Copies of this chain bind each other. A is one copy, B any other.
Amino acid sequence: MGMIGGGEGAFIGAVHRMAANLDGQIELVCGAFSSSAEKSINSGKSLFLAEDRCYPDFKTMFEQEAQLPVGERMDFVSIVTPNFMHYEPAKLALEAGFPVIIDKPLTFSLEEAKELQSLVEKTQLPFALTHVYTGYPMVKQARYMVEQGLIGKVTKINVEYPQGWLTQKLEDSDQKQAAWRTDPARSGKSGCYGDIGTHAANMAEYVSGLNVTKVLAQLNTVVAGRQLDDDANVLLEFEGGVAGVLSASQISAGEENTIKVRVYGEKGGLEWSQADVNTLKVKWHGAPDQIYRTGAENAYLSETALANTRTPAGHPEGYLEAFANIYRNFTVSLRSYLAGEAMDLSILDYPTIEEGVYGMALIEAVVASSEQGNQWVEVAQFIK
């Protein structure tokens, strides 16, 4: 694996590396970790890379890695830069024949997303998007139970992602995360929705198996002087006319990262939250609720939940394990690809370019709805 971005001061880069390390299937072999050549090289050294593979920039990296023989050169690239710097390295990677794993949202703009999609379709290279929260085993169990019809036809979806870290104007300090994530030039046209609302929508879609088809959104900027929305409330319509509500916020003081989804059907409901990731609450109409739990020995779980579980019940798995599931599942696809075999994402799934493009279209629709005075906006118009 090579990495682009994730040098000193970055948050998500270190997360990607730990996730990639966990299962002992992936070795970081090169990187271009910063827009500063010096920082990039120093970061590489501190990560025990060979000096000649600590690249000053990603263009150089692609050029030089492409010249190495297969097996020696990096097998894929992980792109963990801020949003505005997703497209260019991803495009170069695909053009140079390198599979890509990339942080969300897919790109800075929908247009860039579609171009990447064309490239992926053309090259047929493995491509993963790190919507980490769908990597949790109990989220996969939830999706499975909906799919199997266990809760009946879906009738209502609530999803939320409250955070409090931007309660004050943190971007005025030297906090790098706050700086780029509230900056339209680096983050894109939406702040809160683009950053975490997009996770929430993806979660709702993943569990329910239904795409959002229409949105009525209100994007608010609560902290004075902030350039992007820091609060997002959205009425959703899913395929089949199912109603949903999404509430995301970066100014919900005291909240951590409590993404939570509830999907209701005609027979029961499912609830999962990052407050208790190894628990799936299964609520039955007219019968006692059940508590499904992550656990390698829990034979009652679905094949896909078990395949994404590492430890016995009660030894909690966390965020890095969910993240590692994406990396591990991606490596399985990658091996199929390298072996010239068909990739099978049915059990060891991960988010792909399709989710990435759809997520970008949703950002467009949400922003449009909010700008039009909170009108219903169809997502489909942004896809074609």
* A contact set with B: CB distance below 8 Å: 11, 14-15, 17-18, 21-24, 28, 47-48, 151-152, 155-156, 158, 160, 162-165, 167-168, 216, 218, 220, 222, 231, 233, 235, 243, 245, 247, 249, 251-258, 262, 264-269, 274-277, 282-293, 295, 297, 299-300, 310-321, 373-374, 376
Instruction: Quickly give the copy total for this chain.
Output: 4
Nearest chain B CB to A186 CB, angstrom units: 20
Select which of B14, B254, B317 is within 8 A of A268 by beta carbon: B254
Chain B residues with CB below 8 A from A151, complex form:
253
A262 to B233, CA, bound (A): 15
Given known A-B contacts A156-B251, A299-B286, A22 and B22 have beta carbons under 8 A apart:
yes
B374 touches A295 (CB 8 A): no
A220 to B15, CA, bound (A): 42
Chain A binding surface SS class? loop
B317 touches A319 (CB 8 A): yes
Q: A233-B245, A276-B276 are in contact. List 19 more A-B contacts (CB 8 A).
A: A22-B320, A155-B253, A156-B252, A164-B269, A233-B235, A233-B243, A249-B264, A252-B269, A253-B268, A256-B314, A258-B314, A275-B314, A286-B299, A286-B300, A288-B292, A288-B293, A288-B300, A316-B319, A320-B321
A242 to B283, CA, bound (A): 33
Nearest chain B CB to A78 CB, angstrom units: 13
**Residue of B with least CB distance to A257:** B314
Select which of B11, B28, B286, B320 is within 8 A of A317 by beta carbon: B320
B251 touches A155 (CB 8 A): yes
Some 10 contacts from A to B, beta carbons below 8 A apart, are A14-B310, A21-B23, A24-B47, A24-B48, A164-B264, A165-B297, A167-B285, A216-B374, A252-B262, A290-B290
Given known A-B contacts A245-B233, A249-B156, A289-B254, A167 and B266 have beta carbons under 8 A apart:
yes
A216 to B152, CA, bound (A): 30
